[in-house]
Chain A
Amino acid sequence: MSKSILGLFLDPNHAADAMDGLKESGFERGTFDVLTGTPYPEGAFGEYVPQHRLFRFPAFGAIIGFTVSLFLTTATQLAYPLVTGGKPILSIFAMLIIMYEMTMLSAVIFSVIGIIFESRLPNIKPGIYDPRITEGYIGVVITVEDEDLNKAQKVIENSGSEEIKVV
């Protein structure tokens, strides 16, 4: 059965030491993480920063919006062929505004979906946590099997944690 350990640190250097200690003790990267109330520069604690795919969402949304708008404007112009000012029935300049608007609308909607998805939100079961993290404490959290519990706890303790929680 797996358990989660949360070590609370006041000194960011100690938290970084705990992260290093867990790495050196052979725990797989991705099984432990750092929780902060402030966005420290990426890699400040030597944490594993997973690659995100946020940019794909607006791009994908934009492609869908553009395709739908292209179809919509083309279909409506072909369905009601009105020659205006001697211009061709399929006039790209007349289509551009609707195409732009639908592309942007779709990109925005997909971005919002992407933001929720990529941020792992809503996080219904956030796991082990302490509200003091929003007061400047830094949490080092690791999920381990029972047999590794003591080893992980010792690493965190030895790094100078103020408090340890096990759930």
Chain B
Amino acid sequence: MSTNEHHMEWPPSDPKVVKEELFSSTKKGSSSLKTISKFLGVLSVLGLVGLIGKFLIDGGDQTQWGYVAAILAFIFSVTGGAPMVAIAPFIAKANWARPISRMAHVIGASAVIVNIIIMIPLLWMLPPLVVEGARRRSIWFEAPVYSPHFWDFLSLIMLAIAGLGLLYVSALPDFAIMRDNSEGFRKKIGKFLAGGFVGSTVQWSTLRMRVGVMSTLYFFIYIFVHVVISIDFSLSMVPGWRDAIYPMAHAMGGIQGGVALVIILAWIMRKYGNYENYLNINVFWALGRLMFATSLMWIYFFYSAFIVFWYGKSMSDNAWLDLLIRGPMVYVFILGMLFSFVFPWWWLIWNKVRNSINGPVIGAFIALIGVFFERIRIYVPAWSVDPKLIHDKWLTVIPGTLYPDIWDILLILGSISFVVLTVIFISRIIPFIGVWEVQQFNLLAKPVKYIKAHGIRVAKPD
């Protein structure tokens, strides 16, 4: 009996059908997708123009680079946060996450080029550790003056290696399928990337270990990159800003954005890739709960930091409130709070909304916008601080509101477009739902009927 006869949307049980259905999306490309890709390509080029224009016009003024830092922080944190959506359920042996783990890994690897391109001019603008003959406060203490430049860049490269490595190891069996079931150029790519994978006992037994090891390392690196970049590119640029919870709040915001991106991509693949049987209600329900949880985490982290400054009432505490809450970005702060917490919380609190296909994706869009506002709210004021004040004990001159110029807007649109374009490009090579993961899903889970109710029986082998 085919499992499709069940009332619930469920992947087909025939491996050949699974393979053909999932690989079909890598081969067919609708005319609208081509048009979208061209449009994104144009925007990507404009983004590069924006970055070059920014460098040529504002290359000597650090205070104008807040939006560039904000978009870097936004892109690396939300794309980097996506694999965490696959890592946690993988460790917990959660079967529901199998159809979305490939998407999470793809998103994680999609921003490698953009991150590096934006990071290079930002490193140029980042002040050295010794400014005007005196060492500024940082986490690098007496290290060489360009330590943050070198080590932050290396950390981003490290995240890229881990993200690409995670995608590669988890996609290896699918490259073997590509090798065995395609012709011409695709066959050559499959043969090269599969590296002789034939599905032997050794190869499969190390598969779980490979993904597990890379996932663990990715987690450690992801958190570390947030620590160094959030501190070096925002906190240490503001005199007197000391906040122990800030790097973790930064990482949490990234994970919130990562969950949102995975939900959005899963929704798009379900709707336009015809993957209703694979990305069923269980997937969206589980992701909706994660989205809800991460939105609650936002307020937890924000309030934990805020309460210290609010009751501290020292000069530096007041300066923090003046700069980052009620200062030049007060409206962005309000929008950030509404979109990161209030709206998604109020929307996703309803079980009926979470337990639907469209409900979580609306919450995800809202939360993603919230993360974007949050990054602007933090990075733009931090970079707007007059560099001459960097040795002060606390901030005495609050900078005015900085609005994005044309170069910033081009860069923001272009960099986001390039990430989306990269995701589309990867979708032309490997399926966004892992074939072997679906087949394992079918091996281990079956929809069953309990008297008059329906459920899923899941096997969890050791």
Contacts and interface: CB of A to CB of B under 8 A. Distances in A.
Given A101-B155, A123-B197, A52 B142 contact: no
A121 B197 contact: yes
Contacts of A55: 209, 213
B446 interface: no
A48 B201 contact: yes
Interface stretch (B63-71, B101-109, B216-224, B327-335): B216-224
B35 interface: no
Nearest to B158: A105
Contacts of A58: 213, 217
Contact of B198 (A40, A91, A93, A129): A129
Interface string B172-202: 1100110011000000000000011111111
A41 B207 CA distance: 12
Q: How large is the interface on A (under 10, 10 to 19, 20 to 34, 35 or more residues)?
A: 35 or more
Given A38-B439, A94-B141, A133 B205 contact: no
A38 B15 contact: yes
A41 B181 CA distance: 25
A85 B206 CA distance: 49
Given A34-B201, A40-B443, A136-B16, A111 B154 contact: no
Interface stretch (B161-169, B350-358, B375-383): B161-169
Interface string B118-159: 000000000000000001000111111001000100110010
Interface residues of B, number: 57
A101 B221 CA distance: 8
A80 B401 CA distance: 42
Interface in B220-265: 220-221, 224, 228
Q: Chain B at the A interface: mostly helix, strand, loop or mixed?
A: helix
Contacts of B198: 35, 123, 126-127, 129, 133
Interface in B4-34: 14-16, 19
Given A40-B443, A104-B221, A119 B140 contact: no
A119 B206 contact: yes
A98 interface: yes
Contacts of B208: 39
A144 interface: no
Contacts of A105: 154, 158
A122 B161 contact: no
A115 B213 contact: yes
Nearest to A37: B199
B289 interface: no
B436 interface: yes
B210 interface: yes
Contacts of A36: 199, 204
B45 interface: no
Interface string A112-130: 1011101111111111010
Given A39-B204, A58-B213, A108-B221, A97 B169 contact: no
Contacts of B206: 52, 54, 115, 118-119
A131 B203 contact: no
A120 B202 contact: yes
Given A38-B436, A52-B206, A104-B224, A124 B16 contact: no
B196 A122 contact: yes
A52 B205 contact: yes
The 10 closest A-B pairs by CB, nearest first: A123-B196, A136-B15, A41-B461, A131-B180, A94-B141, A122-B195, A38-B439, A121-B195, A84-B142, A135-B16
Given A39-B440, A118-B210, 8 more contacts: A42-B205, A42-B462, A50-B205, A52-B202, A94-B142, A115-B206, A115-B214, A124-B196
29 contacts: A34-B201, A35-B198, A36-B204, A37-B15, A37-B177, A37-B436, A52-B205, A76-B144, A97-B151, A98-B147, A105-B154, A105-B158, A108-B161, A108-B217, A108-B221, A112-B161, A112-B165, A114-B213, A115-B210, A118-B202, A118-B206, A118-B210, A119-B203, A119-B210, A122-B195, A123-B197, A126-B198, A134-B15, A135-B19
